[in-house]
Amino acid sequence: MKLNKIFVLLTFLAVLGTILGNLMYSWVLFTLTISSLALFVISSRVMPSRSVLLSISRGSEERKKEIYVNDELEITIFLKNEERRPVLIEVHDLLPSMVEVIEGSNRKVIKLEGNERKEMSYKISCPITGKIDIGPIKVRYRDPLDFFSKEVDFGEEMILRVLPQTQEMQSVDIHPSYTKHWLGDIKSKNIGIGSEFFSLREYHIGDEIRNINWKATAKHFEPFTNEYEGEKSGDVILVVDGYKKGMVGTERYNSLRVSIDAAASLASSILSARNRLGLIVSGEYMNWVYPGTGKNHYHKVMANLTQFEKGGSWDLEGVRMLLEDFFPRKSLIIFISPLTIMEFTETIIDLARKEYDVMVISPNPLKIEEELLGDYDKIAESFVRTERKNIIDRLWSTGTTVVDWNPNEPLEPALKEVLRYKEKM
């Protein structure tokens, strides 16, 4: 419980009355002391009790929730006055600054009659990805004379994971050049397990009955079996550049945010093509996920994409070491970087020279600046543009596929165009 300023001031008046009354032998000044004391006694009647007089809980019992960027989430809080007398309370559900309240309010003043139950709800949305803590619910009670105020934290914190918005990328076929033995969607040009018809051959003992071509068997009076084009899959590793010093844009819209969105879209597309997907996010810490498949793996990748912190404590040598020592060789490595840090570009070139199949998706930082600022220095722009063009040309010369992506537009067309160009080469 907190004593407010008015209580201190009234105490001062009471003490002053006593001192002056003693000095001047005046009954008038003593009434000041008596009156102040009378007010203290009366106000103690309405003082908040020591025990909690309210019961406050969240509408949902789930402590962890997942939403996508810009999705709406309704938060409900139930309040009940356990006492007989009415109370006026301020309720404030603490929200981080990046969360937007789109309907209602997370801060309200509510009057509760004795044993009354009320509900408070509001809707939020979050424009950026990440892990968000909602709560605790802060409740403040004041007595009518404002002598005392009591602040209590209610309800457990709710953890909200805001996942990046994924784009549809069905028409883009991203596949590694080197395939592995396990089943996938990549046509291997060899006979194997698949769905596309390849040729006919004579029946051998052990062939599956369902693969027998009955039409050919009837024609030649001996059993024939269908052969199919093998469909395989490979390993794809996404490397997201989370270095703070190379980040371009504001807190809400920057190269890192668009990189994460692109990584999420690519992860969904790669995994749906039955490839194994690995992830490395280099920021304040190095987050990495060993290649795997399936729905659980997708959630693991998403969790790592949303939880990491931008920074730059880790050396780029760490990324290279991780790729060379822990991740499978002959994988397709997709770097998502604005290419603003020279060391990152050098690492990509170095890996491309080895036996890795490397692709770079680079959100154009100039387009981000253009979107945010509208107008900027043309000379500086031409310098940066030339520098960026040189880096991209250098990467192409080492056999790296580079997608120069305008983040204000969808990724799919840009990626499709580059892949088509690469096929023609």
Partner 1 sequence: MHFFYWFFPLIFSIIPTVGFLRKKSSVIDYGMIITIVSYFLINEGLPLTVLNIIVIVGFLFLLVGIWFFARYLLLLDRIEDNSRKGSQDEDIISFTRSARMFAVRGIFTNTLLGAFLAIIASLMGSYSSLGRITPGRIEIFLMILFTFFLFLVIYKMISLMVSEEE
Q: Where does this chain bind partner 1 (CB under 8 A)?
A: 1-3, 5-7, 9, 11-18, 20-22, 24-44, 46-47, 50, 86, 88, 90, 101, 104-111, 122, 142-146, 150
Least distance between partner 1 and beta carbon 108 (Å): 6
Of 113 and 371, the one with the shorter C-beta distance to partner 1 is 113
> Count of CB atoms within 10 A of residue 119's CB?
11
Rounded distance, CA 236 to CA 348, Å?
15
Nearer to partner 1, 22 or 199 (CB): 22
**Separation CA 303–CA 161 (nearest Å):** 8
Contacts of 284 (CB under 8 A, 6+ apart): 242, 244, 308, 309, 310, 311, 312, 313, 314
Residues 6 or more apart from 398 whose CB is under 8 A from it? 349, 352, 353
User: Does residue 374 come out as left (phi exceeding 0), alpha (psi in the -120 to 50 range) or beta?
Assistant: left
CA distance 190 to 230: 6
Q: Which is nearer to partner 1, 91 or 248 (CB)?
A: 91
Minimum CB separation of residue 419 from partner 1 in Å reads 45
Give the shortest CB-135-to-partner 1 separation in angstroms: 17
Residue type present at position 306: T
Bridge pairing between strands 100-103 and 117-125: antiparallel
Nearest alpha carbon to residue 239 among 184, 277, 292, 293: 277
Min dist. Cβ of residue 10 to partner 1 (A): 8
Whichever of 119 and 371 has its CB closer to partner 1, that residue is 119
Which of 14/348 has CB closer to partner 1? 14
Residues in CB range of 249: below 8 A, 6 or more apart: 255, 256, 257, 365, 368, 369, 372
**CB closer to partner 1 out of 112 and 305:** 112
Residue 46 or 384: which CB sits closer to partner 1?
46
Burial class (CB in 10 A: 0-12, 13-18, 19+), 389: exposed
Please report how close the Cβ of residue 86 comes to partner 1 at its closest, in angstroms.
Answer: 7
CB of 33 to partner 1, least distance (A): 6
Shortest separation between residue 105's beta carbon and partner 1, angstroms? 4
**Least separation in angstroms between CB 72 and partner 1:** 14
Q: What are phi and psi of 64, to 5 degrees?
A: -120, 130
Burial zone of 39 (CB within 10 Å; 0-12 exposed, 13-18 middle, 19+ buried)? middle
Q: 150 vs 180, which CB is nearer to partner 1? A: 150
